[in-house]
Amino acid sequence: MIKVFADLQALSHAAARLFAEEAARAIETKGRFIVLLAGGETPRRTYEALARDPLRDAVSWERVHFFWGDERHVPADDPASNARMARQALLDHVPVPAAQIHTIPYRSSPRESAVAYEEILRAFFSGGPSRFDLVFLGLGENGHTASLFPGTIAVEERERWVTEVFLPGELMQRITLTLPVINRAGLVVFLVSGTSKSRILRETLEDVSPLHCIPARLVRPADGKLRWLVDRDAARLLQQRA
């Protein structure tokens, strides 16, 4: 389901309201809300909207567990850190217990970080299958999502829950959750904004190019829901408009 909003501000407020609704539903039925945050720049304003009234007081933060879909292999205080962005925009402003902020550990290698995070995830889900209530994802101009980049073996990974990503030509290496974990989510929401994303959004949603060329097209929750919250600039090339 695709919803088109006038601009990033409207998109972000809708995403924040959706977070609050899903949190209330999960906490009502399960006593906790398990969410996977996206990195990059697009979600920042969604996180900021959650840190402000009225939504700040609408969420039972003490019942929320935060995880990340991917991270750059950098220290926690590095400006490139996805967790740092989420702390500045949201987590430093709401009363979520520190023990419920499950960041991707920065170890001496991306592989060690990935292995450590997988251990954290498997322990959190008590050795059973992972099941995130809500997954936020972004869309890169080359069709990547999380850090599942076209042509990387991370996209093909079907056993490991977390893997390292070495991008040729990029100094910064990454850690990403894999498709099997993302596709076990109850609800996956893509947040896409800006003219620069209009071509890849059309190709992702309407093209017939081979699936593996655009990793975002491989996000298909097995028994969950998939939603696209996009702004008008990103949607300008779409045939079918919501």
Catalog residues that contact ligand 6PG under the rule CB under 6 A.
38-42, 70, 82, 138-140, 144-147
Do 184 and 226 contact (CB within 8 A), yes or no?
no
Residues 6 or more apart whose Cβ sits within 8 Å of residue 195: 233, 234, 236
Least distance in angstroms from the C-beta of 27 to ligand 6PG: 26
- What letters, b where the CB count within 10 A reaches 16 and e where it falls short, cover 199-211? ebbbbbbeeeeee
Q: Which residue is nearest to ligand 6PG (CB)?
A: 138
Nearer to ligand 6PG, 138 or 224 (CB): 138
Collapse the DSSP code of 164 into the 3-class scheme (helix H, G, I; strand E, B; otherwise coil) and give the result.
strand
Nearer to ligand 6PG, 60 or 143 (CB): 143
Least distance in angstroms from the C-beta of 40 to ligand 6PG: 3
Least distance in angstroms from the C-beta of 116 to ligand 6PG: 18
Least distance in angstroms from the C-beta of 87 to ligand 6PG: 15
Q: Give the chain's length.
A: 242
Least distance in angstroms from the C-beta of 127 to ligand 6PG: 27
Nearer to ligand 6PG, 2 or 74 (CB): 74
Exposure on the CB side of residue 104, measured as CA atoms within 13 A: 34
Backbone conformation region of residue 89, classed left if phi is above 0, alpha if psi is from -120 to 50, else beta? alpha
Nearer to ligand 6PG, 7 or 41 (CB): 41
CA distance 14 to 3: 10
Nearer to ligand 6PG, 63 or 84 (CB): 84
